[in-house]
Amino acid sequence: MTKTDVHYGDYLQLEKILNAQELESDKQQLHAHDEMLFIIIHQAYELWFKQLLFEVDSVAAIMQKPVNDNSPELQTVVHRTSRMITILKLLVHQIDIMETMTPMDFLDFRDMLRPASGFQSWQFKALEARLGLKYQHRFGQEYYISQLKQAQIDLIKQAENQQSIIDLLNQWLERMPFFEEAHNWTNYKPVSDISNPTEHIFWEDYQQIYINSLAAAEQSNRDQFNTIFTKDTPEAVRQLSPRACRAALFIMLYRGYPILQLPFQLLNSLLEIDEQLSTWRYRHMSMVHRMIGSRIGTGGSTGRDYLKGALDKHYIFADIARLTSFLIERRKLPALSTEMEKRLGFK
């Protein structure tokens, strides 16, 4: 085959991109200088949302298959979630550029945008859904797709009907055999006095060590421990099962072992994604309050109040973050059996 030369501008389709900024203020012969900045920033956001969705889909495709805990596939998952974190940090910093526009600069063209609104970004809603934000956990359920075109609604519904990253994470954690391999615990020596264990011996031992480490004001954590690690609760309350939570906590506790390094990095990456999304929401909310105060959004939302509600409620990986409440000091960690140490090392 004869290779055709590739030209920079043609490859990037720059003619389309650089001619995709049409100022509403110019159409009305009321030129507003900062409208160009406003358009370009939001176009850049949508391009990055597309890349984030591309990365999420690739991660989900890998995790839908059985993934070895120390494999190139898991390394790829960790690498791509780390890339997502870097992109999200960039999205947060883009708000710094947006804030070079003053409230009066924005008012020069704001009313010309109605009813368009960032609330109509279907890609961001699809991204939240692919990560694991379910409809029943959303703030403002009654109008979160009310202003979208039917084709966009269909895309969001398709994203909601797919297995999300949190769903796939739950499956991956549940199949980890730490507590099912009885032969690896035969020489385990519990620290606590356990006479008639009803759970796995390690788990009974760890629970007692944890309870003994609580301050007087923290005794309510005793009941929370049982709720999170041993009791099934409705899906509306949690997204990780007790079995998955036990595996995740074990990974956090013993992450120093080689085979648990990548699993720990994955859990940490998902927490960082949540943190960056939260930071982006907070910065967005603060910017909106600075720009329009208590006025409603151009799309009819409650503006800052809606963003505040989403900030408070839209934590996707909260079940992972909650586990840090149940860690103990490293020096109090139960020593694993020789067999288990071999299981977690490199052979």
- Known binding site: residues? 38-42, 110, 284, 298
- Which is nearest to 202 in space by CA: 187, 222, 219? 187
Identify whether 234 is preceded by a cis peptide bond (ω within 30 of 0). Answer: no
Binding residues for substrate: 38-42, 110, 298
CA distances from 151 to 20, 36, 207 (A): 21, 28, 50
Angle (nearest 5°) at CA 273 between 281 and 81: 145
Residue type at position 4: T
Contact 245, 172 (CB under 8 A): no
Binding residues for heme: 284
Look-up: residue for tokens 């949540």? 274
DSSP state of 218: G
Report residue 6: phi and psi, to 5°.
-100, 130
The rounded distance, in Å, linking the Cα atoms of 277 and 70 is 28
The rounded distance, in Å, linking the Cα atoms of 193 and 28 is 80
The rounded distance, in Å, linking the Cα atoms of 43 and 18 is 11
